[in-house]
């Protein structure tokens, strides 16, 4: 009896030991992978910073006399200053190209010329696993891409591409300092999106213009402008404006067009005047959407264009 009990106890101890070893391996492997993933995340952040710095520096070299070697040398030099090797930068060589409507269009390899307005820098880095070697011999392959572009010089007058119907203003008769509620959707409300370039009322393009102004020579009293039919969700656009927390605050001193009635199916409206207003709040959505403005100036003038072009970063 004692012999049988002793054998059973030995088997049980053996099983417990095997289970302990198995769980220890699983635990150590999990901890090792967590350490490797943390290293990979840190390296990813480092090479993204390097790519951003390299593309921002390289785009400053663009001019009518630009050649590819100068742009590439600047990108490689700045990346090297951020602990990135030339092989990591040139695994996918830097490219010049153009920037339009929120998209980068590359030129042919090793070409930069007077038409180039943007530079793309891509950094590729292989990161060997440390603890992860327990389960795999493969490396982490990291990639960071950055595109910097020059904002083209603009002319004309600048407003937010949002119009309020003159008939509605005449009905409400707001005064300076009073509030004005606009409401409804694009087809049934007393407001509308304005579009000057064919697709500037869609997505991120419209949000950008509502944050920073749309500038054009055609923005003037008496001029006809296209009604924006793009897919930009006005509630999301206004949420972005209201959440802007850095000066100059996007919700303040907005120059808006006062127009003829938008109506259903109107392809154009006429600009009749301009008002300056602060956006205070919004609520609802669709046909029940509304926004509250505070009137600053009922006889406003459009803002002047920016004085000079600036570099912009688009990752």
Whether the per-residue pLDDT at 3 is higher than 50: the answer is yes
Question: Do 63 and 143 share a structural domain?
Answer: yes
Domain that holds residue 240: 157-307
Query: What are the C-alpha distances in Å from 32 to residues 23, 26, 38, 45, 58?
Result: 14, 10, 10, 20, 39
314 within a domain of the structure (yes/no): no
**pLDDT (mean) for 62-78:** 86
- Which among 150, 170, 199 is the end of a domain? 150
In sequence order, the β-bridge partners of residue 120 are 95, 147
Pick from 128, 150, 172: which residue ends a domain? 150
Instruction: Pick the more confident residue, 103 or 276.
Output: 276
* 246 assigned to some structural domain: yes
Q: Are residues 142 and 19 in the same domain?
A: yes
Angle at 96 between CA 91 and CA 97, to 5 degrees: 130
Check: CB of residue 101 under 8 Å from CB of residue 205.
Answer: yes
Q: What percent of the chain has pLDDT over 70?
A: 80
Q: Is 32 exposed, middle or buried (0-12, 13-18, 19+ CB in 10 A)?
A: middle
Q: Which of 309, 315, 314 lies closest to 151, judged by CA?
A: 309
Domain boundary among 92, 125, 150: 150
Residues 204-231 have a mean pLDDT of 84
**Could you tell me which residues come within 8 angstroms of residue 251 by beta carbon, excluding any fewer than 6 positions away?**
241, 242, 244, 278, 279, 280
User: Do residues 55 and 104 both lie within one domain?
Assistant: yes
Q: Are residues 120 and 20 in the same domain?
A: yes
Q: Report yes or no on 13 lying in a domain.
A: yes
Whether the CB-CB separation of 83 and 112 falls below 8 Å is answered with no
Whether residue 295 sits in one domain with residue 173: yes
User: Does residue 173 carry a pLDDT above 50?
Assistant: yes
Mean pLDDT of the residues in the chain: 83
Q: Are residues 139 and 161 in the same domain?
A: no
Residue 315 in this model has a pLDDT that exceeds 50: no
- At 27, the pLDDT band (50, 70, 90 cuts) reads low
Identify whether 313 is part of a domain.
Answer: no
**What's the rounded mean pLDDT across residues 230-251?**
84
Same domain for 144 and 277, yes or no, is: no
What number is the average pLDDT over the span 177-205?
Answer: 83
Residues 6 or more apart whose Cβ sits within 8 Å of residue 285: 235
92 and 66 inside one domain? yes
pLDDT at 311 over 60: no
Q: Is the residue at 315 inside a domain?
A: no
Q: Do residues 176 and 268 both lie within one domain?
A: yes
When mean pLDDT is compared across 200-204, 215-219, 247-251, the lowest value belongs to 200-204
Which pTM was predicted? 0.52
Q: Are strands 157-159 and 179-183 parallel, antiparallel or unpaired?
A: unpaired
Residue 139 and residue 117 share a domain: yes
Total domains, the chain: 2
Mean pLDDT lowest among 174-188, 231-245, 291-305: 231-245
CA 225, 281, 183: angle at the middle one, nearest 5?
Answer: 50
Q: What is the pLDDT of residue 181?
A: 96
Check pLDDT > 60 for residue 307.
no
Is 96 inside any structural domain?
Answer: yes
Residue 209 counted as domain residue: yes
- 143 and 193 part of one domain: no
**Domain co-membership, 117 together with 209:** no
Whether residue 155 contacts residue 217, with contact meaning beta carbons closer than 8 Å, is answered with: yes
Is residue 123 in a domain?
yes
């Amino acid at each position: 009896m004692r012999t049988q009990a002793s054998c059973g106890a030995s088997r049980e101890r053996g099983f417990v030991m095997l289970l302990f070893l198995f769980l220890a391996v699983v635990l150590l492997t999990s901890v090792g992978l967590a350490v490797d993933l943390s290293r990979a995340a840190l390296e990813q952040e480092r090479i993204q910073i390097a790519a951003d710095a390299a593309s921002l520096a390289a785009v400053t070299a663009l001019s009518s006399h630009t050649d590819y070697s100068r742009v590439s040398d600047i990108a490689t030099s700045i990346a090297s200053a951020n602990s990135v090797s030339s092989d990591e930068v040139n695994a996918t060589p830097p490219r010049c190209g153009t920037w339009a409507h929120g998209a980068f269009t590359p030129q042919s390899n090793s070409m930069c010329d007077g038409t180039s307005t943007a530079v793309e820098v891509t950094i590729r880095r292989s990161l060997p696993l440390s603890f992860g070697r327990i389960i795999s011999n493969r490396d982490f392959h990291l990639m960071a891409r950055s595109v910097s572009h020059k904002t083209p010089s603009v002319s004309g007058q600048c407003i937010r591409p949002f119009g309020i119907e003159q008939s509605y203003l005449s009905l409400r008769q707001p005064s300076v300092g009073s509030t004005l509620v606009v409401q409804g959707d694009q087809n049934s409300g007393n407001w509308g999106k304005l579009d000057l370039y064919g697709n500037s009322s869609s997505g991120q393009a419209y949000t950008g213009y509502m944050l920073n102004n749309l500038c054009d020579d055609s923005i003037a009293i008496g001029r006809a402008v296209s009604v924006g039919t793009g897919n930009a969700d006005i509630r999301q656009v206004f949420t972005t404006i209201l959440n802007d927390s850095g000066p100059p605050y996007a919700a303040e001193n907005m120059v808006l067009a006062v127009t003829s009635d938008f109506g259903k199916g109107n392809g154009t409206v006429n600009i009749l005047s301009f008002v300056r207003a602060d956006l205070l709040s919004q609520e609802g959505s669709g046909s029940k959407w509304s926004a509250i403005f505070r009137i600053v100036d009922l006889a406003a003038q459009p803002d002047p264009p920016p004085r000079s072009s600036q570099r912009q970063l688009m990752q």
